[in-house]
């Protein structure tokens, strides 16, 4: 890819994942405040999508997020699925609004399908 194509792809992902406002921010760590938890989750998704994948697998993409941030992350994943990317994720105790975003659900208990 040319530098222009890379820049265009990154800018599309920033817009798609609602990260434009923090694009020049530091991520931060335990000592220095940086972007929010929801922004960090979306950044992790963007890092995977930069590779132009057809399938993305996420382990608990909403854990540790407040209700609004969790909904925003799942809405973005729903939008990706609508664009043809297969999204597979684990999720614990989703809200009813988030449950309705899934096309297929497999419920597990003690490692077995319910």
pTM: 0.78
Q: Please check the confidence at residue 1 and state whether its pLDDT lies above 80.
A: no
The Cα 19–Cα 44 span in angstroms is 11
Q: How far apart are CA 89 and CA 55, in angstroms?
A: 11
DSSP summary character for residue 102: -
- Tens digit of each residue's pLDDT (9 = 90 or more) over 8-59: 888 988 988 889 998 888 888 888 888 988 888 888 888 888 888 899 999 9
Q: What is the pLDDT of residue 32?
A: 86
pLDDT tens-digit map of 54-103: 999 999 999 888 898 889 889 989 999 999 999 999 998 899 999 999 99
Going along the chain from its start, the domains and CATH numbers come out as 3-113 (3.40.50.300)
Q: Using CA of residue 69, residue 74, residue 77, residue 78, what is the dihedral sign?
A: negative
pLDDT of residue 69: 86
């Amino acid at each position: 890819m040319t530098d222009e194509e890379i820049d265009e792809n990154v800018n599309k992902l920033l817009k798609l994942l609602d990260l434009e406002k923090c694009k020049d921010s530091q991520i931060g760590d335990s000592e220095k405040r940086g972007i929010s938890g929801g922004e960090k989750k979306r950044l992790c998704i963007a890092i995977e999508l930069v590779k132009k994948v057809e399938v993305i697998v996420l382990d608990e993409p909403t854990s540790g997020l407040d209700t609004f941030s969790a909904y925003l992350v799942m809405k973005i994943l729903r939008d990706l699925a609508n664009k043809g990317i297969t999204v597979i994720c684990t999720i614990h105790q989703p809200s009813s609004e988030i449950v309705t975003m899934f096309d297929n659900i497999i419920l597990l208990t003690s490692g077995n399908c319910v």
